[in-house]
Chains A and B, each alone.
Chain A
Amino acid sequence: MANFSSNQFKNGMKVMIDGDPCSMVDVEFVKPGKGQAFTRVKLRNLMSGRIWERTFKSGESVEAADVMDTTMEYSYYDGELWYFMDPNTFEQVGADENAVSDAKPWLKEQDSVTVTLFNGNPIAVTPPNFVELEVVETDPGLKGDTAQGGSKPATLTTGAVVRVPLFINQGEVLKIDTRTGEYVSRA
């Protein structure tokens, strides 16, 4: 794999740190007027999700990580792995619990998601920012309550439980923001 020198660092760059693929979240040039230059980088370990800062000497280089984001369709769960298919090649990959953990509540068959591959293996699954899911269980809707008032829990087809307004009924399809896990609107 190629190396990147500190002067090439930029947000989103994927590099190997201590054997794990990491993504650069923030890159900052640090140099006192009279002192040496350093590059301070906020990194996210793509395996563990840990975010921390590391400082590199000017000209220090790090190995690039063979990490690729691909758009794939969620196919099915076999009790152990979650399978995703490349819509162009029909190739399938199986992702483990670790990789899908954040995405799990929002995975609906045939939906497109972003699968992050490291050396060809899925290490992270990111759902789209908004998904549309059906309510399978909630208290009956309250007629006339369309604007304000409280909220109630609703269980969606994926098993996720979200807070919804009181007027929502079982069987309705809702738009959910996957980044916050919050109800947005009726779909």
Chain B
Amino acid sequence: MSEWRPSATIENLRHRAQLFNHIREFFKQLDVLEVDTPVMSQCAVSDPFIDSFELNYCPVVGITEQTHYLQTSPEYAMKRLLAAGSGAIYQMSKVFRNGEYGSRHNPEFTMLEWYQPGYDDHQLMDEVEALVLPILGLNSIERITYSDLFMRYLGFRPEQVGVDRLVAETKKHVDITLQDDDPDTWLNLLISHVIEPQLKTVAAIFVTEYPASQAALAKVRKNSVGEWVAARFELFVNGVELANGYHELTDPQEQQKRLQIDQTHRERLQLPQRPLDYRLVEALEAGLPDCAGVALGVDRLLMLALNADSIAEVIPFDYSKA
């Protein structure tokens, strides 16, 4: 058998190395500092739907002193650096997400994350565009609000309907047995099952102004029609979710509240309760500069640049061969 063989061709791995060089050169030109924060942390990400790998630090073989968690993104640690005065920083490193494996997912993958003090979400979108356009061979990227996206592809505005309508709209297109009164569950299903397939023919599009309930670590602000929206954007390329960015939340009280909300949400869903990173809250108390940040899936970017069908084709050994 060929069990030992890589899942990617050597040719693709050459492209991969070129992409890494291209990215590092891009940030060198912009004078953004490269950092490498720890892969292991005493605290875990709070997001209910991102599961961390656990591992044990043993001062003596076999005796666990401290449970650690593999980073699911370097966000918390990078914000602590920003609060400590690092200025603009980027990190390109492995991140780990338990249970995520498929043609677009691998439980360990390479994430590019960067922060620009003084930027808002739109300025950072300009920079994301400058990075990915030459890689993908595109000229420009359209920007559309979350509300307009739903209007264009589904014919209604999510902020104007209740959860019952969202369930009904989803069930028009998706055969699923699910009891859930959280509107975001249904909004996500509509995006992943109905909108993303239609975006396959769209080269690239930024979706902006996410619902305030999906702010994660973004600021919440009023939009032009007076609705509260998250200063969050996502980039979709050929229907593939490629990047997620925020005009970052800097308010420590709000940050603390959101961590607690996530923990309560986890409890309600009977998901593991893991240590929250209050050092992030302390960093915000000390002062996180007003900034925008974005995380981009490097493996997916390469997939899209090479027209590959699966992530396995662009990483040396995918999960099944690792």
How many residues on B have C-beta within 8 angstroms of the other chain's C-beta atoms?
A: 27
Question: With A29-B105, A58-B99 as given contacts, are A34 and B193 in contact (CB-CB < 8 Å)?
Answer: no
Determine whether A37 belongs to the interface, using a CB cutoff of 8 Å to chain B: yes
Q: Mark A28-50, 1 if CB is under 8 A from B, else 0.
A: 11111111111010000000000
Once bound together, how far apart are the Cα atoms of A38 and B196, in whole Å? 14
Cβ-defined contact, B175 with A52, below 8 A: yes
Q: Mark B90-120, 1 if CB is under 8 A from A, else 0.
A: 0000000001111111000000000000000
Is B189 within 8 A of A55, CB to CB? yes
For A37, what are the chain B residues with a Cβ–Cβ distance below 8 Å?
49, 99-100
Band of interface residues on A: 20 to 34
Q: A25 CB to closest chain B CB, in angstroms?
A: 14
B124 interfacial contact with A, CB 8 Å: no
B223 at the interface (CB under 8 A from A): no
A-side contacts of B104, CB under 8 Å = 29
B36 within 8 A of A: no
Question: Which residues, 207 to 236 on B, are CB-close (under 8 Å) to A?
Answer: 214, 216, 234
For this complex, 29 residue pairs linking A to B, each with C-beta atoms less than 8 Å apart, are A7-B99, A28-B103, A29-B100, A29-B101, A29-B104, A29-B105, A30-B102, A31-B100, A31-B105, A31-B192, A32-B192, A33-B234, A33-B241, A34-B47, A35-B192, A38-B189, A40-B193, A53-B174, A53-B175, A54-B175, A55-B174, A55-B175, A55-B189, A55-B193, A56-B176, A57-B176, A57-B177, A57-B178, A58-B99
* Chain B interface (Cβ < 8 Å from any Cβ of A): 47, 49-50, 99-105, 174-178, 184-185, 188-189, 191-193, 214, 216, 234, 241, 244
